[in-house]
Amino acid sequence: MTRGQPKAAVRCAIYPRKSTEDGLEQDFNSLDAQSEACAAFVLSQRAEGWQRLPDRYDDGGFSGGSTERPALQGLLADVAAHRIDVVVAYKVDRLTRSLTDFARIIGLAVAPEIAVGDGALGFWKALDEVFPGARHQRCWVHKAAKVLNKFPKSMAPTVKSDLRDIWQAETRAAAEAAMDTFAEKYGTKYHKAVACLVKDRDALLTFFDSPAEHWDHLRTANPIESVFATVRHRTVRTKGALS
């Protein structure tokens, strides 16, 4: 492709799901909220050629514990027929709550080397069951928020700076040293905050095992979530939105 030539169209299907039928009678319900959030993400990728398909694949009143859902089956059939290039869901658990089903749906034949997430124990448990060789990388944005919550607000700027010294360190050794310094500095008076940090010490520093050009992407899962922030002000006003 030469410079200036438009990129090939990427056909995107949106898949919203709600486990119960509660609130689906509303003019703007959970399925609509999920669709709008996903559409915003597709629009944000228009420079890459992403285009939303007009077809609706909505499963209202169906559990994510099984793949026996009419809209999902239609979606998978269209993917198999090469009518869809990308499937967009508000969260992975909208597509499925089973990591095994997720791997099967996306045809994941090669186990991931590393997985990035917050403190959702169910995710890590499922990951270890299905892909026992995958390494854990805890999200620094989520972890920093939990640590900061255990300090007075007046200390936030200083604590943020000290945490930044850890995750923005040039090497693992420097990060280890910065974490030790953090623990020594705050351990006596704010031991709960230090415990919250150091209990996931290894998982917070896993990204150092990868090439440096990937560190920004591996340190946090937040970029995936933040693209939906602009529509949350509307969805929170809808009963059962995104549930």
Q: What pLDDT, on the 0 to 100 scale, is given for residue 241? A: 46
H or E stretch at 107: none
Q: What are phi and psi of 183, to 5 degrees?
A: -65, -40
Sequence-distant (6+) residues with CB within 8 A of 2 are none
Q: In 3D, which of 66, 58, 62, 45 has the Cα closest to residue 14?
A: 58
Alpha carbon distance 43, 112 (integer Å): 28
Q: What is the structure's pLDDT at 156?
A: 97
CA distances (Å), origin 94, targets 108, 135, 153, 202:
18, 24, 35, 30
Q: Give the right CATH number for 10-90+228-235 from 3.40.605.10, 3.30.420.40, 3.60.15.10, 3.40.50.1390.
A: 3.40.50.1390
Band (pLDDT 50/70/90 cuts) for residue 228 is very low
| Percent of the chain predicted with pLDDT > 70 | 87
Q: Is 216 exposed, middle or buried (0-12, 13-18, 19+ CB in 10 A)?
A: exposed
The strand ranges marked E within 94-165 are 114-117, 135-138
Residue 139 in this model has a pLDDT that exceeds 80: yes
Q: Is the pTM of this model over 0.95?
A: no
pLDDT band at 29 (very low <50, low <70, confident <90, very high): very high
Whole-number pLDDT of residue 231: 47
Residue ranges of the domains in the chain?
A: 10-90+228-235, 139-220
Q: Reduced to 3 states, what is the DSSP secondary structure of residue 203?
A: helix
- The pLDDT-based confidence of 237 (bands split at 50, 70, 90) is very low
